[in-house]
Chains A and B, each alone.
Chain A
Amino acid sequence: MLRFIVRRVLLMIPTLFVISALVYFIIDLPPGDCVSSQIEELVARGDADAHQRAEELRELYGLNLPLWQRYLEWVGGIFRWDFGLSCQDTVPVADLIGERLTLTIIMETSTIAFIWIVSFLIGTYAATHQYKLGDYVASFIGFIGLAIPNFLLALVLLYVGKVYFGLSIGGLMDPEYIDKPLSWGKALSVMQHLIIPVIVIGMSGTAGMIRRLRANLLDELQKQYVVTGRAKGLPPMKLLVKYPLRHSLNPFVADIGGLLPDVISGSVIVSVVLSLPTTGPMLLGALKTQDVNLAATFLLFVAALTVIGMLISDLALAALDPRIRFGATSEK
């Protein structure tokens, strides 16, 4: 297992470096830079010093340096938790992302927990009650969840909440806690406001996971050892938990890696629609204005979360079920 962990971690390091380089260079590819749009506004207003101001800003942000040099400075700064200056407000990126990153991590973690818990319960129920009313309801929820885009569901919930219940479900905390230090009241407010975003973002993931768990569990339940166990009079719960459920749980573990990027990318648009103070809306703004440092920092965090998710998934799977798969070969 140690050799496996070492090899997996060793693969992670160059992967993150390559992703960071790709992200940085691709964001910088379009013509112009983050100063261009600001200067265009000044020129439009008739500011005579606009072009001189542009040069000053380019020097301040280091945009007059070659791209590779800016990239190396940005990468070097990561170790000091210094991601350079953001063009949007001329403040350090680290100051901008602080609380937003924490709130994003809380939201994504809660969403994944929601997906697992709900899909485990519904998937197991649907498989053990095949073609009963509960199974049809679960399948219906599954198809609805897969078919409706997250942002549309967010819009519908906003409308329903406002028109029928008089609730404002946007934001991630009550207005009086915004920009205030962490307190019990703030934590409670965040937890209350998390419910709707978590359901909205987790809906499609939950639906997909329900379908997969149901299919896997049905496959297992039809195997001969289950039939034999049932014929021998084994209690249904013991028969379910001892082998079939354990075997059908592998996709849960294996999907952690894929779930994280899905949840994060799905949450960007939902965060914009629901006005959530997470990294999503800021990332969108940074990409629009070519704020390379800010956008690349966010995307690097997303990449790091994805890679870590995949590592956890692979380690958990290796620990739970270290068996050879059909078609795979072992070295001698």
Chain B
Amino acid sequence: MSSADLRYPRPTILADYARAGIGVLLCGAPLLLLEVNQWLAAILVAGFALFALFLVRTALRHRTRYVLGPDTLCADGPAGTLVEWGRLDRMKLSYFSTKRDRSDGWMQLAIGSTGGRLVKVDSSLDGFHDIVERAARAAEGTGVTLSDATRANLRAMGIVVAGQEESV
């Protein structure tokens, strides 16, 4: 199996920059331009910090490329890290949606290997399905216990992991 170079598509990154920018502006502008009550200022500062954090995370994602190899997943960028499939010890696949009927959402995969930092990738990443499939196979091999939600999300993606049946 050869390595694949994966990145977040430009529209996704731009949309996230826009969200972060709007949030920073909406929370920061009143703090700078208006006389704000101390309690409301605390809420606005918290909001500002949240959007600023998201801006930093988006910038990191923008500068990061993911290299999916037969033995590793390498996040090559400013806060890069490496996941070794043979030593995978954490895997969580979550689904998020902001709609009431939980449609039009996105998946997030969080994986980590022994001694390494957690890598989180969203379903908007090119080749996300391949990463999840590889991680699922690795989880099968290393015997990582998967949560109910992760198993359900894997099934929804058409991926079945052996040895992860319901147990009581």
Contacts and interface: CB of A to CB of B under 8 A. Distances in A.
Contacts of A72: none
Contacts of A225: 166, 168
Contacts of A8: 98
B37 A80 contact: yes
Interface in B92-126: 94-98, 101-108, 122-124
Nearest to A223: B166
Interface string B123-145: 11000110000000000000000
Contact of A330 (B50, B53, B106, B166): B106
Given A79-B30, A327-B103, A234 B40 contact: no
A79 B101 contact: no
Given A6-B54, A9-B23, A318 B168 contact: no
B131 to A, nearest CB: 12
A7 B94 CA distance: 16
Interface in A1-56: 1-11, 13
B82 to A, nearest CB: 22
B153 interface: yes
B20 A6 contact: yes
A38 B106 CA distance: 57
Contacts of B149: 321-323
Interface in A227-244: 228-229, 232, 234, 239, 242-243
Interface residues of A, number: 39
Nearest to A331: B106
Interface string B17-55: 001101100100010001111011000000100110110
Contact of B96 (A229, A242, A322): A322
A291 to B, nearest CB: 22
Contacts of B74: none
A323 B148 contact: yes
B1 interface: no
Contacts of A3: 16, 54, 96, 106, 108, 122
B37 A11 contact: no
A11 B98 contact: yes
A330 B50 CA distance: 25
A328 B108 contact: no
B54 A330 contact: no
Given A79-B40, A324-B153, A6 B50 contact: yes
Nearest to B129: A332
Interface string A298-332: 00000000000000001000100111110111111
Given A80-B34, A80-B35, A4 B129 contact: no
A161 interface: no
B57 interface: yes
A13 B123 CA distance: 26
Contact of B168 (A76, A243, A325, A331): A243
A325 B51 contact: no
Given A1-B108, A332-B123, A239 B50 contact: no
A323 B95 contact: yes
A13 B149 CA distance: 30
Nearest to B122: A3
A73 B119 CA distance: 47
Contacts of A7: 19, 98
B14 to A, nearest CB: 14
B168 A6 contact: no
Interface in A69-97: 76, 78-81
Contacts of A228: 168
Nearest to B103: A328
A239 B95 CA distance: 27
Given A321-B149, A325-B102, A331-B104, A81 B37 contact: yes
A4 B98 CA distance: 7
Nearest to B95: A324
A317 to B, nearest CB: 9
A104 to B, nearest CB: 16
A330 B36 contact: no
B8 to A, nearest CB: 11
Contact of B105 (A6, A76, A331): A331
Closest 9 A/B residue pairs (Cβ): A322-B94, A81-B37, A229-B168, A323-B149, A324-B95, A4-B96, A323-B152, A324-B156, A328-B103
10 contacts: A3-B96, A6-B23, A79-B35, A80-B37, A225-B166, A229-B168, A322-B96, A328-B101, A328-B104, A331-B124
